[in-house]
Amino acid sequence: MEQWNGRYYAPLVVEVTDADDGKQVRTILERRLGVSRKLLSQVKLTEHGLTVNEQRVYTTAIAKAGDMIRLRMEQEESEDILPQPIPIEVVYEDDDLLIVNKPAGMIVHPTHGHYLNTLANGVVHHWKEKGERVRFRPIHRLDEETSGLVAIAKTGYVHQQLSEQLQAGAVTKLYRAYVYGVPEPAAGTIDEPIDRDDEQPHLRVVRPDGYPSVTHYEVIASYSGSGESGAASVWLKLETGRTHQIRVHMRHIGCPLIGDKFYGSEHGRVEEWELAAGRHALHAEILGFVHPITKVPMEWHAPLPAELAMLEQLLGAGQ
């Protein structure tokens, strides 16, 4: 990773145009780069955090056409995350982003009572081995048993930009799931509010006073010979990102995820194909967004892990 003076990440550079002549530095950075007030308040406190023509300035300084504004963020580390030599599958990495394919059974971030063997521990070790000082900033998270793509920002600016894309619905996140039953109609939208279950607070339920939650789905294939009500593979796209949203919504329409121990089927009979996955059958397969620095649209694909490929094979064999 490019560094400046061994303390900062590579700067964000803006050349002041005629249209920006006479404007405040803060206004130019907000308009040209979308830099948040919070980030500006952080960088202006460091010696070389905000400069015009390599001279330290305040955010209210007036810039002239031809000036070069540089915004430098200090290098950071996740000091509370212990590096562990855990294998991680890097799908893509540059100075600004890390995209990994998380296996099922791994928690993304350390939690109370679970400080080791998380994706964060492995990523921090990965960066340490490369000699990089980076703070672990996931853009989104996946449940422990959900496999697939996770995006991690390597600077505060990139995290801010991707979080805004996520909130604006500009991030493509496509999941593949295998469910009991076959959704009707074959494609549709589940627009049902979700909140905690009063009796079991660790679970979520659809409830009228819940938070707005929207999931789009489309049936990929149906397997009528699998069980009494059949089964299906489904594409799912989230419009909102509530905890357990896909699992709760699919259960709500009568098609819970195969293998889901909290929201799954309760028919009492276990088929061979139900045991194949060994966890709930959900995989974050496609992830896409505009790169915050290069502004180039990018998309990544994570193939089905072996256990879900086996599940699909068994479902098809039951036809």
Residue 233 pLDDT grade (very low, low, confident, very high; cuts 50, 70, 90):
very high
pLDDT digits (tens, 9 = 90+) for 141-154: 999 999 999 999 99
pLDDT score, position 121: 97
Is 143 a residue of the active site? yes
Domain formed by 172-317, architecture: 2-Layer Sandwich (3.30)
Asked whether the predicted pLDDT for residue 286 surpasses 70, the reply is yes
Asked whether the predicted pLDDT for residue 319 surpasses 80, the reply is no
Fold adopted by 89-167: Pseudouridine synthase (3.30.2350)
The structural domains of the chain, with segments of one domain joined by +, span 3-71, 89-167, 172-317
Asked whether the predicted pLDDT for residue 2 surpasses 90, the reply is no
CATH number for region 3-71: 3.10.290.10
pLDDT score, position 227: 59
Residue 226 pLDDT grade (very low, low, confident, very high; cuts 50, 70, 90):
low
Residue 8 pLDDT grade (very low, low, confident, very high; cuts 50, 70, 90):
confident
Residue 267 pLDDT grade (very low, low, confident, very high; cuts 50, 70, 90):
low
Would you say the CATH fold of 172-317 matches that of 3-71?
no
pLDDT score, position 3: 45
pLDDT digits (tens, 9 = 90+) for 43-79: 888 888 899 999 999 999 999 999 999 999 888 888 8
- 166-192 burial: b if 16+ Cβ within 10 Å, else e: beeeebebbbbbbbbbbbeeeeeebeb
Residue 135 pLDDT grade (very low, low, confident, very high; cuts 50, 70, 90):
very high
pLDDT digits (tens, 9 = 90+) for 61-71: 999 999 999 99
Which residue is catalytic, options 20, 67, 96, 143? 143
